[in-house]
Chains A and B, each alone.
Chain A
């Protein structure tokens, strides 16, 4: 009997961080006092009219270009009609018939290979307000309309994802791209990225199964849990000979369960029709080209390059590639062609990551440059300082910057490679550690290491460990 496969499609909503809302001049700002960033337009007062914020169009086009989409030179806004207390006009202005971007794809590194997920469309729309339920009492619900009219893009994937892990990697990739483009704050806890998750299961070679949708899943890990839950549920049903009905659920991440919202038979009819208050959205070929020029090499491409060209492991490649300033720094280092990518990577993943984690800073808040790191590596490679001394210098470079040579001098960290000095240290260590010397001669392998360590200690970590070893070996015979 063949196995069931999971098929996943994601609709990802990302709030754009334009200065103002999509259809009015109100501030697009999270965390303001309730119902203060509002005006007749976003309150849906009689007579108010929407005016499309051009930045929203540009942001969406940039995301479309990043996801290899066709950009529609003419697209339209449409109305999606439904009643809900957080939706003041009783319709959401969205794009149904002709979205601004369609037919794209995104590639990312997952499970040891490059995966490609097709993008069906990206469209622009407005967010709704927020219901605030006061306490447990059902009769007290407040509405905060600050979020009404916050611009969103909805990125709709084809059902090309095959596992919760892959969906997670896809979402992390989208998030990194949004951050690279600087068009979304990507604050999950503020709801700036949300997902609707479509899941179906089928057997190899069969047509796609009936899909179920889970609405408004708020974190990537919740998406992953929801997928596993739903895929298991559907598989169990099919195994026991039942069929799947097209249904929409609300995912409760705390309880780890799905709650039925509606079945296909009573699905909402949104009565989409063209928004008469907003003329067609035009974007010219030359504007598209100009926007294309603003798009840097993206994190997913970088990650693939780091893995396939420089042999970084997945974790390292992701850590560096998904952080714009880190990857910029890494690429700068690589472009100097002085040291192998791996050496830079180990400094980034080691001392730099440690420092950034501890200080809760980004690379841009440090003073480090690629030239400094190269100078430091030069000093280590030419035996001017030891590896451990280099760490101290690195710390100074991060905090204060400066010349590697002068930091070494200031800290008195220059490595001792002078044979005479090292010989006298080694002799002293050998004299003081008779027992270990005996151990060495009786073949204990770690004895030499201990003696080297003692030499380092005596030299305040300044001794050249390679030379120390040579000298010890000679002296011990």
Chain B
């Protein structure tokens, strides 16, 4: 087995036991990237020299007997909307093609403190708007299981890179499913924690109420390991909560007595038979391990997607205002006055999907429309949150498919945004309610493309959620690795 094929926690053990050095490990991943990334396009920016230098420092520390955190020396990829001092942060946009971040995001500080090694910045839909990674200015990122298919999005680069062994694990962001959906497409474990458990400081805002940094890993154990590193109270993020997790050491694969709610009516309309089959088999597997399956109904589910797109677009239209060509980022040439700078820089710097959301968001916040759209969407979001909260008084976990489909062909759905938005139909609940959710591989379709099982729990119940996912993963035979 090649080094890049191991799980992060296994590599951590090998590093601790000094079977390998971080330098060897990083070199192995660099080789892998050099070999496969031209087929995938997962990386926008690579920082191999710095990665090797950091690895050398970690190795020295280890040799001199230092007691290092688990993650020390492990090669990690970072979604390109997270600020890393000295590295370009493009957010997948022409607007920020040459923007070099002058400071570290809170999660990057955490990674540096624990010795995680950053390999580079990963491809994404432009400003995280998209479900296929096709809106990236730097080109679509492809699915390692079939490079004619999309990786999913917006954290497509994270999922593809981890799936293909280009990074041991990755940090992504999830606003409406942006970690879970590409993870389902690429056969990785994608985890969106409770809103507020991981600081957003340094994460380029898309929809501030929903944005959450999370992890893309090869397995649940890696997920727990990485989550423990990045979750903490941060005084620079007012929405951050005072909670420190230790999920890795408490991870337990016992699902006996776990109450799992299944909202069947929600995915009755899923037309992909393999997804339903895999889901049903997953539920049965849970049953076999002693979990109790309970039929539930989320109610008003149709409102979720609409509410999500109204609120997220409203916030996005405001959050993206700062990209105006004045202080940093793209500026159109030969502008005649300040309004010309604003208009032409934004017209030329943003892609179609960003413009669509900015216009949508601007519209729903406009005088005369605010009450009919934005306010109603907030009310719908509140209703859904309340319903989920009350469901979690009956069940520990809600299980549903991550995505209504498997990876689709590059080029698909680009001209039908509403169809594209439907990709998020199962994932937006967790963002609306701020609850944790995880996607774990639970099968492949008849074409060998991965299928994801999504589990959600109540707020701050990360341990319960990760345990459930771990129980499933331990009982499940797994899916084949991608062949590249």
Taking beta carbons and an 8 Å cutoff, which residues of A are in contact with B? 40, 43-52, 79, 81, 83, 85, 88-91, 143, 269, 271-273, 276-279
Tell me if B204 and A46 are in contact (CB < 8 A): yes
Q: Closest CB of chain B to A149's CB: distance in Å?
A: 14
Q: Contact: A277 with B322, CB < 8 Å? A: no
Does B203 contact A47, Cβ atoms closer than 8 Å? yes
Complex: A91 Cα to B321 Cα, angstroms: 7
Closest to B237 in A: A49
Cα–Cα distance between A450 and B410 once the two chains are bound (Å): 111
Complex contact A47–B202 (CB within 8 A)? yes
Instruction: Enumerate chain A residues within 8 angstroms of B102, measured Cβ to Cβ.
Output: 40, 45
Q: In the complex, which residue of chain B has the Cβ closest to the Cβ of A83?
A: B342
Contact (Cβ within 8 A) A81 B239: no
Interface centre among A43, A50, A52, A276 (most CB of B within 10 A): A276
B212 contacts partner chain A, Cβ-Cβ < 8 Å: no
B386 to chain A, nearest CB (A): 18
How many Å from the CB of A458 to the closest CB on chain B?
Answer: 78
**Contact present for A40 and B103 (CB under 8 Å):** yes
Across-interface contacts of B342 in A (CB, < 8 A): 83
Given A271-B318, A273-B314, A278-B238, verify A47-B324 contact (CB < 8 Å): no
* B321, A83: Cβ atoms closer than 8 Å: yes
- Is the Cβ of A273 less than 8 Å from the Cβ of B365? yes
- Cβ-neighbour of B324 out of A46, A83, A269 (below 8 A): A83
Please measure, in the bound complex, the distance between the C-alpha atom of A51 and the C-alpha atom of B106, giving whole angstroms: 15
- Set of chain B residues within 8 Å of A45, measured between Cβ atoms: 83, 101-103, 328
**Residues from 54 to 96 in B contacting A, C-beta threshold 8 Å:** 81-83, 89, 91, 96
A52 neighbours in B (Cβ, 8 Å): 238
Per-position contact with A for B41-64: 1 when CB-CB < 8 Å, else 0? Answer: 000000000000000000000000
Of B235, B317, B324, B370, the residue contacting A51 (CB under 8 A) is B235
Which residue of A46, A83, A272 has the most chain B CB atoms within 10 A of its CB atom?
A: A46
Q: Are B322 and A44 in contact (CB-based, < 8 A)?
A: yes
Does the CB pair A47–B239 fall under 8 Å?
A: no
- Asked if residues B239 and A269 are in contact (CB atoms below 8 Å), the reply is no
- B81 CB contacts on chain A under 8 angstroms: 46-47
Chain A min CB distance to B366 (Å):
6
Bound Cα distance from A269 to B367, whole angstroms: 7
Find chain A residues with CB under 8 A from B101 CB. 45-47
Contact of A81 among B83, B201, B338, B365 (CB under 8 A): B365
In whole angstroms, what is the CA distance A86 to B289 when docked? 61
Complex Cα spacing A85 to B337, Å: 11
Q: How far is the CA of A244 from the CA of B213 in the complex (A)?
A: 54
Asked if A85 and B326 make an inter-chain contact with CB atoms under 8 angstroms apart, the answer reads yes
Q: Are the CB atoms of A276 and B235 closer together than 8 Å? A: no
From A47, A91, A277, B238 is in contact (CB under 8 Å) with: A277
- A51: B residues at CB distance < 8 A: 235-238
Interface contacts beyond A44-B322, A47-B202, A89-B322: sample of 20 additional A-B pairs, CB < 8 Å, sorted by A: A40-B103, A43-B327, A46-B83, A46-B96, A46-B99, A46-B101, A47-B81, A47-B204, A49-B200, A49-B237, A49-B238, A51-B238, A79-B318, A81-B317, A85-B324, A90-B318, A271-B318, A271-B366, A273-B370, A277-B239
The answer to whether A273 and B318 touch across the interface, beta carbons within 8 angstroms, is yes
In the assembled complex, which residues on chain A have CB atoms less than 8 Å from the CB atom of B89?
46
Scan B92-134; emit 1 where CB is below 8 A from any A CB, else 0: 0000100101110100000000000000000000000000000
Chain A residues with CB under 8 A of B321: 81, 83, 89-91
Query: What distance in Å separates the Cβ of B90 from its nearest Cβ neighbour in chain A?
Result: 10
Tell me, in angstroms, the Cα distance from A44 to B321 when the chains sit together: 10
In whole angstroms, how far apart are the Cα atoms of A272 and B99 in the complex?
Answer: 29
Residues of B within 8 A of A85 (CB): 324, 326, 338
Can you list 27 residue pairs at the A/B interface with Cβ under 8 Å? A44-B327, A45-B101, A45-B103, A46-B89, A46-B99, A47-B82, A47-B83, A47-B105, A47-B200, A47-B201, A47-B203, A49-B200, A49-B237, A49-B238, A51-B236, A52-B238, A83-B342, A85-B326, A88-B322, A88-B327, A89-B322, A143-B326, A271-B362, A273-B314, A276-B209, A277-B239, A278-B238
Q: Which residues of A contact B238 (CB under 8 A)?
A: 49-52, 277-279
Find the A residue at minimum CB distance from B314: A273
Nearest chain B CB to A89 CB, angstrom units: 5
- Which B residues are in CB contact (< 8 Å) with A79? 318
Say yes or no for B208: interface residue by CB 8 A criterion: yes
Residue of A nearest to B374 (CB): A273
In Å, the complex CA distance between A46 and B85 comes to 12
A430–B367 Cα distance when bound, in Å, is 91
| Cα–Cα distance between A81 and B366 once the two chains are bound (Å) | 11
A81 contacts B322, CB within 8 Å? no
- A48 and B99 CA atoms in complex are apart in Å by 15
Q: What's the least CB distance linking A254 to chain B, in Å?
A: 24
Chain B residues in 8 Å Cβ range of A278: 238
Residue of A43, A91, A277, A278 with most partner-chain B CB within 10 A: A277
Contacts known (A269-B367, A278-B238, A279-B239); A46 close to B322, Cβ less than 8 A: yes
How far, in Å, is B129 (CB) from chain A's closest CB? 14
Complex Cα spacing A43 to B203, Å: 15
Q: Determine if A49 and B236 form an interchain contact, defined as CB atoms under 8 angstroms apart.
A: yes
B205 at the interface (CB under 8 A from A): yes
**Cβ contacts under 8 Å, A83 to chain B:** 321, 324, 339, 342
Task: Please report the C-alpha to C-alpha distance between residue A81 and residue B239 in the assembled complex, in whole angstroms.
Answer: 21
Contact with A along B314-335 (1 / 0, CB 8 A): 1101100110101110000000
With both beta carbons as reference points, the residue of chain B lying nearest to A41 in the complex is identified as: B236
- A272→B318 CA distance, assembly (Å): 10
B338 adjacent to A91 (CB under 8 Å):
no
Cα A272 to Cα B362 with chains together (Å): 10
Task: Chain B residues near A143: list those with CB within 8 A.
Answer: 326-327
The answer for the CA separation of A271 and B365 in the assembled complex, in Å, is 5
Name the residue of chain B whose CB is nearest to the CB of A25.
B236
What residues of chain A lie closer than 8 Å to B239, measured between beta carbons?
276-277, 279
A50: nearest residue on chain B (CB-CB)? B238
- Note all chain A residues with C-beta closer than 8 A to B366: 269, 271
Residues of B within 8 A of A279 (CB): 238-239
CA distance A47 to B101 in the complex (A): 10
Whether A276 and B326, one on each chain, are in contact in the complex, defined by CB atoms closer than 8 angstroms, is: no
Q: Mark B178-222, 1 if CB is under 8 A from A, else 0.
A: 000000000000000000000011111101110000000000000
For B96, B101, B235, the residue with the greatest tally of chain A CB atoms inside 10 Å of its CB is B101
CA separation between A436 and B236, bound complex, in Å?
87
CA–CA, A373 to B436, complex, Å? Answer: 73
- Name the distance in Å between A78's Cβ and chain B's nearest Cβ: 11
A269 to B365, CA, bound (A): 9
Q: Are A47 and B205 in contact (CB under 8 A)?
A: yes
Instruction: Say how far A278's CB is from chain B's closest CB, in angstroms.
Output: 5
Give Cα distance in the complex from A52 to B235, angstroms. Answer: 11
In the assembled complex, the CB of B467 is this many whole angstroms from the nearest CB of chain A, namely: 30
**Among all A-B residue pairs, the 4 with the closest Cβ atoms:** A90-B321, A271-B365, A276-B208, A46-B204
